[in-house]
Amino acid sequence: MKHVIAGVCVAVPMFAFAATTINFDADAVGALPAGWTAGSTGGGTPKWSVTADPTAPTSPNVLKQLGTGTFPWCVKTDVAIADGFVEVKLKPLRGKEDQAGGLIWRWRSGESYYLARVNALEDNIGLYYVEHGRRKQLMAADVEVPPHVWHKLRVEFRGTHIRVLFNDKLYIETDDGHINEAGAVGVWTKADSVTEFDDFGYDGRQ
């Protein structure tokens, strides 16, 4: 059964494992983080790199996307997770078409993965799967997403069950079985979104 929870209370995590957290502070400014790869589903010219931001939750560095593309992504390919969680702090900065940022899990390629994202222009949160390079929406919920502010996005997944939390409130909970295999985890943007990411965490089980 599919349903949306309005996010009126603080959610209890489905998983309570100690996460591996990456704050990008050990990575070289101007390059991709070690062990990560970048691209764009649907084409484009994404420009992912580590950059300095004194407002970062864990300063001084963040991961930033400055280019354009249909759906730019950046994933940690030396991780393969089937069940667990992934989370990140993100800050939408600008974009005329979109101001979006999200999380990817069970990433098999740029043509196949799950995605949860928030959009500061639309003030909503959405859950999708990408199959054969086509993004298909599973659920959505309205939520205020102010730009130029750091937010926390977290996804918990086990088997077919998926929970999406934004700023520690549960907004989406559902079941879907389109992608079951273990895959990489990472971050995502859309179109001309300029978005920063910090404190990327995952459960670390292989």
CATH of the domain at 127: 2.60.120.560
101 in any annotated domain: yes
86 in any annotated domain: yes
* CB contact set of 109 (below 8 Å; sequence gap of 6+): none
Task: Please tell me the distance from the alpha carbon of residue 150 to that of residue 34, in angstroms, as a whole number.
Answer: 24
117 in any annotated domain: yes
13 in any annotated domain: no
Per residue of the chain (206 residues), what is the pLDDT tens digit? Answer: 333 433 434 444 444 445 799 999 999 999 999 999 999 999 999 999 999 999 999 999 999 999 999 999 999 999 999 999 999 999 999 999 999 999 999 999 999 999 999 999 999 999 999 999 999 999 999 999 999 999 999 999 999 999 999 999 999 999 999 999 999 999 999 999 999 999 999 996 53
The whole-number pLDDT of residue 204 equals 61
Task: Please tell me the distance from the alpha carbon of residue 100 to that of residue 123, in angstroms, as a whole number.
Answer: 10
16 in any annotated domain: no
The whole-number pLDDT of residue 206 equals 37
Counting the structural domains of the chain, the total is: 1
For residue 57, whether the previous peptide bond is cis, meaning omega lies within 30 degrees of 0, is no
205 in any annotated domain: no
36 in any annotated domain: yes
Provide the residue range defining the domain that includes 140.
3-7+28-199
Q: Which residues pair with 21 in a beta bridge?
A: 201
206 in any annotated domain: no
Backbone phi, psi, residue 27, to 5°: -95, 155
Task: Please tell me the distance from the alpha carbon of residue 28 to that of residue 95, in angstroms, as a whole number.
Answer: 26
The total number of residues shown for the chain amounts to 206
Task: Please tell me the distance from the alpha carbon of residue 151 to that of residue 168, in angstroms, as a whole number.
Answer: 10
The whole-number pLDDT of residue 19 equals 79
The whole-number pLDDT of residue 17 equals 46
* CB contact set of 26 (below 8 Å; sequence gap of 6+): none
Q: Which helix (H) or strand (E) holds 138?
A: strand 134-142
The whole-number pLDDT of residue 18 equals 55
The whole-number pLDDT of residue 12 equals 43
The whole-number pLDDT of residue 205 equals 56
